[in-house]
Chain A
Amino acid sequence: MKFPFRFRFWVAQRFSAAISAPSLPALAAEGQRDGKSARRLFHALILCAAIFLFMGAGDDSARFKDLGHRMMCTCGCGQVLLECNHVGCQSSEKMRGELQAALDKGGSNSDDLVLQGFVQEYGPTVIAAPTATGFNRVAWIMPFLVLALGIAFAVHVVRSWKNRPEPALADGITIRPGSELDEFRRRARKETDL
């Protein structure tokens, strides 16, 4: 994803304006408690995030490297285009040439257009990872969904463990209060210090 130079310049300008603004305590001292400081901080955070998101856009060699790593070599070696170097590979050489030619066309040829050109020529399997469109989104969503569900499940399990009643004890045995057990633990750790 490459953003126009003017936009990146604007982002950089806003960011430098934000970070060169007086610090929060200084603003507070000046009595500017009308929310300006919080707004500035908010802007700075947004701009930081924007820069983080938009970073990586650079010159053509960086673009070549980026796009070359987003495509697969079609010779069947199963490697990313720029990493295929197996002896006598005809595909990777040709594809690299085509990629360079597409980038040489200039700014009007966006990354998406370049990739689309390759998809038309070599089919959808040329793209090294599922695109974020249609059913392919499921590929990206599922692992994080599973992680979220897993965390929810783990929290539920931990809570249910915590709320589980103490196991029944034989007659005559009494459980010591938690604080007393804590004291035993503290002493044991202190004396073994391990």
Chain B
Amino acid sequence: MSQIGSFALLLALGLSAYSFLAGFLALFGKDAASARLGETARRAGIATFAAVLLAGIVLVMAAFNNDFSIAYIFHHSNRDLPAAYKFAVLWSGQEGSLLFWSLLLAGYGFVLRLRYKTDQRLFAYASVIIASVQVFFLLILNFAALPFGLMQGSLPADGSGLNPLLQYPEMVIHPPMLYLGYVGFTVPFAFALGALIMKYPGDRWIHITRRWTMVTWCFLTIGVFLGAHWAYAVLGWGGYWGWDPVENASLMPWLTGTAFLHSVMMQEKRGMLKVWNMSLIFATFLLSMLGTFLTRSGVISSVHAFAQSSIGTWFLVFIVLTLAVCTFFLVANRSYLKSEHKLESLVSRESSFLFNNLLLLVVCFTILWGTFFPILSEFVQGHKVTVGPPFFNRVAVPVALLLLLLTAVGPLLAWRKTSLESLKRNFLFPALGSLTIGVMMIVFGVRPWEDPSFFYATMAAVLSALVIFTVVSEFLRGGRVIAGKSHQNLLSAMIHLCHRNTRRYGGYIVHFGVALVVIGILGTPFNKEVEKEMGFGDKISIGPYTLVCQSYTQDDNPNYANEWAIMNVFRSGKQITTMYPERRFYKASQQPQTLPRIYPSFREDFFLVSDLYLVYEGRNETTGQPIIKAHVNPLVPWIWIGLIVMVFGTIVALVPNAAAVRVAATTPIRAPAHVGAGD
């Protein structure tokens, strides 16, 4: 089986190399022979997908067949591993995840090459660039990180099993989502670089890649948040984001990708920021690669990192080469990227986009800087320092709050110029509403002056409310106009409004989701935790809850032995639920793992929902008594709801617009005036 897989990878390398070289040569000719050569390159690119898919299938089948002669399968699987996790073996280790990356890239390339008729010349350039990235990954898979490498010596009877932390349902979804995001940015990158090299006229490449970029961004968003949720639901420390280098690596391309999604509108609407947009998409692709480099090189220590290996050098060379190529063409073809319009007013959507981009990039820089500062420190001072959560919280949070302010204000600004009168009119209700929220927080006992974290929480609440009120007021205002003209009810009118400009209103829904996420985060300073050794009938009180330990029980299955506590949860003297925090011991890997249980109090609190989070930490070695740790984490469920809203908003933005409703002008207009649409 390993021979089939190895052969498929070698074949894929040959095909992608041909696709790259033949496609590259075909770009220079304009005759029929070049066209035929280009066509063979396109077909080789399509065939690459089939070959890499075959390799992927072989690896998964090897996991299902317990083929421990393959070293990768031995290290990441065992006989009693559940089927879903055997499938997840594909991305559980270094070599498999590189194969998975290559497979996704080949898949994206496959779709792109099938749709080549949209614009044959631009697609040919993009196809060559994608083929070059594909060649890089297949070179690694064939020569540096072999997924089908064989075990040395006698054949083991069973594998050493999958890392227990990865044996969680979300781990079957989180990595594919993240990879779909990382890899997906190759497509807009390829189109952007292609358009730059060929000096492609106009902004058609942006229109072609708009949906690709949004879908990719959506995947990356889901991937990042699922990662956070996995950390919350599995690691058992009661938090969801630890500013780990690998978490940071996934956030950086997300930030530049978000900046790109905003600034690209400037190019579409006003023909501005062309160099900036190119740079942003290049940066996003390079940061995706940098994230992969960080995870795999061993340069930075992280709990998420794969084993240290030599492939870091491969990635470093590739990143430097790509950076050099991008910089060269940006400089050489800069005349092609001249802006077409001038700015009419400082108070305009254009300015807000510029500052939004600036803040997103400053946050991105802060994360990059903090991630690499330990290496710099070692170089300069001779010793490493830790750059952990206190640094990122202190530096990134104030900038993120400014960004939230712009998220609220930006949509109220019109393209080109905004009059003070309209700003006042649009801003009054949201500003008053958000200030009321701030006052209410103080009235209900939050003291922003007592601790910086309370101050940030209050500011975050006020600004999130501002974003929400802004979005709601925009929907209400537009909905009322349509309801008045078409005699629909307000809800149908708002749906109609949304359908008329899906991108704009989908974007607003995404902003709404972001505000919900921030609301979920701002509860952190108010977290509570208690740890106690608990025998039968013992009680813990935390927040509004009283927990009574009813019993402990054990179980055993071929994959793991487990023990869990049975905890009755009381609130206001009434039992509301029973929770079962669990501790497992995986037999193949001989590793223990805790599985917290979480109870979100939607029924009791709804808007001010909090998570009751129980961890069965194990037994005290001296007394033998079980130890239970309880957390009450206010507002956290809003983070996950916010994600759902963000994904929904992105889906809305992807829906094509409905035809515009024509409304007769009340008085004749003397001359046509060009006013930018309000995306």
Contacts and interface: CB of A to CB of B under 8 A. Distances in A.
B390 A129 contact: yes
Given A127-B386, A188-B673, A194-B678, A146 B449 contact: no
A143 B449 contact: no
B235 interface: yes
Interface stretch (A5-13, A16-24, A103-111, A133-141): A133-141
B23 interface: no
Given A52-B449, A88-B592, A185-B417, A191 B665 contact: yes
A51 B477 CA distance: 44
A84 B343 CA distance: 52
A176 B369 contact: no
Nearest to B343: A161
A72 interface: yes
A88 B394 CA distance: 31
A178 B417 CA distance: 11
B477 A191 contact: no
Contact of A135 (B235, B381, B583): B381
B237 interface: yes
A150 B361 contact: yes
A124 B385 contact: yes
A76 B303 CA distance: 8
Interface stretch (B97-105, B238-246, B254-262): B238-246
A161 B340 CA distance: 10
A184 B674 CA distance: 9
B386 A125 contact: yes
Contact of A151 (B302, B358, B366, B666): B358
B354 A154 contact: yes
Contacts of B341: 167
Interface string A134-178: 111001101110110011011001100111111100000000101
Contacts of A163: 342
B384 A125 contact: yes
Nearest to A130: B385
Given A56-B451, A143-B365, A128 B346 contact: no
Contact of A87 (B244, B617, B666): B617
A79 interface: yes
Contacts of B242: 78-80, 83
B401 to A, nearest CB: 13
Interface string A55-99: 110000000000001101000111110011111100000000000
B249 to A, nearest CB: 13
B448 to A, nearest CB: 9
B236 interface: yes
A131 to B, nearest CB: 8
A124 B383 contact: yes
A128 B339 contact: no
B369 A143 contact: yes
A87 B618 contact: yes
A34 interface: no
Nearest to B361: A150
Contacts of A162: 342-346
A78 B244 contact: yes
B593 interface: yes
Nearest to A163: B342
B370 interface: yes
A62 B339 CA distance: 55
Contacts of A167: 340-342
A189 interface: yes
A76 B301 contact: yes
Given A129-B394, A147-B362, A184 B385 contact: no
Contact of B451 (A55, A123, A124, A193): A55
Contacts of B671: 176, 184
B390 to A, nearest CB: 4
B342 A158 contact: no
B629 interface: yes
Contacts of A87: 583, 592-594, 617-618
Interface residues of B, number: 75
A191 B663 contact: yes
Given A83-B238, A191-B663, A126 B358 contact: no
Contacts of B462: none
B299 to A, nearest CB: 15
Nearest to A53: B452
A50 to B, nearest CB: 12
B422 interface: yes
A85 B236 contact: yes
Contacts of B303: 76-78
Given A76-B301, A136-B377, A139-B370, A125 B385 contact: yes
Contacts of B433: none
A36 interface: no
A15 B353 CA distance: 42
Interface in B371-413: 373, 377, 380-381, 383-391, 394-396, 399
B545 interface: no
Contacts of A185: 414, 416-417, 673, 675
Contacts of B346: 158, 162
A128 B669 contact: no
B354 A70 contact: no
Given A87-B593, A150-B361, A161-B343, A193 B675 contact: no
A148 to B, nearest CB: 10
Given A87-B594, A161-B342, A70 B399 contact: no
Contacts of A136: 377, 385
Contact of B477 (A70, A135, A143, A193): A193
A181 interface: yes
Contacts of B481: 192-194
B235 A86 contact: yes
A194 B450 contact: no
A119 B481 CA distance: 65
A182 interface: yes
A126 B386 contact: yes
A84 B399 CA distance: 28
A192 B239 CA distance: 47
B283 to A, nearest CB: 14
B354 A158 contact: yes
15 contacts: A55-B451, A70-B390, A72-B386, A78-B303, A83-B239, A83-B242, A130-B391, A131-B385, A135-B377, A136-B377, A143-B369, A150-B361, A154-B358, A185-B675, A192-B663
Given A139-B377, A184-B673, 16 more contacts: A55-B449, A70-B390, A80-B390, A124-B384, A125-B386, A129-B394, A140-B391, A147-B362, A147-B399, A150-B362, A161-B272, A163-B342, A167-B340, A185-B673, A185-B675, A194-B678
Please provide the 10 A-B residue pairs with the shortest distance between their CB atoms, ordered closest to farther: A184-B673, A161-B343, A128-B388, A164-B342, A129-B391, A129-B390, A143-B366, A87-B592, A150-B358, A193-B481
Interface of A: 48, 51-52, 55-56, 69-70, 72, 76-80, 83-88, 123-131, 134-136, 139-140, 142-144, 146-147, 150-151, 153-154, 157-158, 161-167, 176, 178, 181-182, 184-189, 191-194
